[in-house]
């Protein structure tokens, strides 16, 4: 499908993943209509581009706010509240996320969108004894955030089926890069090790998977580009890399790229309630739905070097786009 000239509505365009996806789509000639909260503190992170149209409004009022957009081809829903540690287990916050997301789905229908994509999460899978997370497996999420993401998927799948709308539920794994949450393990290591600081870690003996942000954005864009002719289809898609290994291996690689500066203190970090779970995502569906040609372009070392290259003279990493 030729994407140039297509009209896309997006929520969460000021977020880490959303703004990279928006930037890539804009480069490809897509008209992006971004629904942004009036009180958003991150409006300045959006690119200044002739094809980007900011529309002020809230998720709950998406239908009314977006009416002026007119017919659109797709709706990318990447906004979700309560991802911090204080609210990730709040039933009230996560229930509101479901309600607001359903309002966005209704708005997509009113705009005549052919396809609806939303950002799911690896935490929907919950605890898998073997760590293998394949899209067809039964999910058992542990926290309220994962439960809400899964519940919205279940409701959205049924509605999209009724409406004949293509639906892609994208389960993102550990996406990293400049602009990621400062408390993530990669951001912490890249920030602290060059300064010679000690970083407290778990034992890091479980398996993990990281995907660099530009690859994650490209995966979304490629899924959209290959979605033509899939009207009415519903797909859960793992958005992850093929690089799954012991977490300690990733940590040691970052340490080496930081010139061996700083110290790694294993076994001193308190785990979340899920514990140290291995994650081993399958990515065959991502490859299948992108025409069998999908492959990441950024190695883990390359992604870390990008982040280190974005640090200032005091080794403080900037929070800017790639």
**Which pLDDT belongs to residue 21?**
97
Dist CA 234 CA 317 (whole Å) = 39
Q: What is the pLDDT of residues 43-70, one digit of tens each?
A: 777 778 899 999 999 999 999 999 999 9
Residue 85 lies in a domain: yes
- d(CA 46, CA 59) in angstroms, rounded, equals 18
Q: Which residues of the chain have pLDDT under 50?
A: 311-322
8-31 pLDDT, tens digit each: 999 999 999 999 999 999 999 999
DSSP reduced 3-state for 267: coil
Q: What is the pLDDT of residue 86?
A: 83
Q: Buried b vs exposed e over 114-148: b needs ≥16 C-beta within 10 Å? A: bbbbbbbbbbbbbebeebebebeeebebbbbbbbb
| 104 found inside a domain | yes
> What pLDDT score does 312 carry?
40
Q: Which two tokens stand for residue 183?
A: 């408390």
pLDDT of residue 314: 35
| pLDDT value at residue 313 | 34
CATH label of the domain that carries residue 162: 3.40.50.720
In a domain, residue 15? The reply is yes
Inside any domain, residue 258: no
The residue assigned the tokens 């919950």 is: 126
Q: What is the CA 212 to chain-centroid distance, rounded?
A: 11
Task: Please give the model's pTM, rounded to 2 decimal places.
Answer: 0.92
Q: How many domains does the chain have?
A: 1
Asked, for residue 101, whether it belongs to a domain, the answer is yes
Residue 17's H or E segment, with its range, is helix 16-27
CB 104 within 8 A of CB 62: yes
pLDDT at residue 298, as a whole number: 97
Specify if 111 maps to a domain. Answer: yes
Full domain range(s) for residue 50: 7-175+210-239
Alpha helices per DSSP H over 62-132:
62-66, 91-110
Q: Is residue 267 part of a domain?
A: no
Beta carbons of 26 and 49 less than 8 angstroms apart: yes
In a domain, 303, yes or no: no
């Amino acid at each position: 499908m030729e994407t140039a000239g297509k009209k896309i509505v997006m929520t969460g365009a000021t977020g880490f993943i959303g703004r990279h996806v928006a930037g890539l789509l804009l480069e490809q000639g897509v008209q992006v209509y971004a629904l942004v909260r009036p009180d958003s503190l991150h409006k300045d992170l959006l690119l200044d581009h002739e094809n980007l149209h900011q529309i002020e409004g809230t998720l709950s009022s998406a239908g009314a706010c977006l009416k002026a957009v007119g017919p659109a081809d797709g709706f990318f829903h990447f906004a979700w509240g309560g991802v911090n540690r204080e609210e990730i287990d709040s039933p009230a916050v996560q229930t509101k996320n479901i309600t607001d997301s359903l309002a966005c789905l209704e708005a997509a229908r009113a705009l005549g969108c052919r396809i609806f994509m939303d950002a799911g999460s690896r935490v929907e899978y919950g605890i898998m004894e073997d760590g293998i997370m394949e899209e067809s497996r039964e999910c058992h999420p542990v926290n309220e955030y994962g439960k809400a993401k899964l519940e919205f998927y279940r409701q959205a799948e049924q509605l999209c089926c009724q409406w004949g709308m293509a639906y892609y539920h994208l389960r993102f794994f550990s996406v990293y890069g400049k602009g990621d949450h400062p408390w993530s393990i990669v951001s912490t290591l890249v920030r602290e090790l060059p300064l010679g600081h000690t970083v407290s870690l778990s034992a890091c003996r479980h398996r993990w998977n990281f995907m660099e942000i530009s690859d994650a954005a490209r995966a979304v864009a490629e899924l959209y580009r290959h979605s033509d002719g899939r009207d009415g289809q519903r797909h859960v898609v793992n958005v992850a890399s093929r690089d799954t290994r012991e977490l300690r291996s990733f940590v040691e690689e970052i340490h080496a790229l930081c010139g061996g500066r700083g110290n790694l203190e294993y076994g001193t970090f308190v785990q979340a309630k899920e514990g140290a779970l291995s994650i081993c995502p399958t990515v065959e569906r991502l490859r299948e739905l992108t025409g069998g040609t999908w492959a990441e372009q950024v190695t883990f070392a390359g992604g870390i070097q990008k982040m280190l290259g974005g640090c200032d003279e005091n080794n403080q990493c900037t929070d800017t786009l790639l």
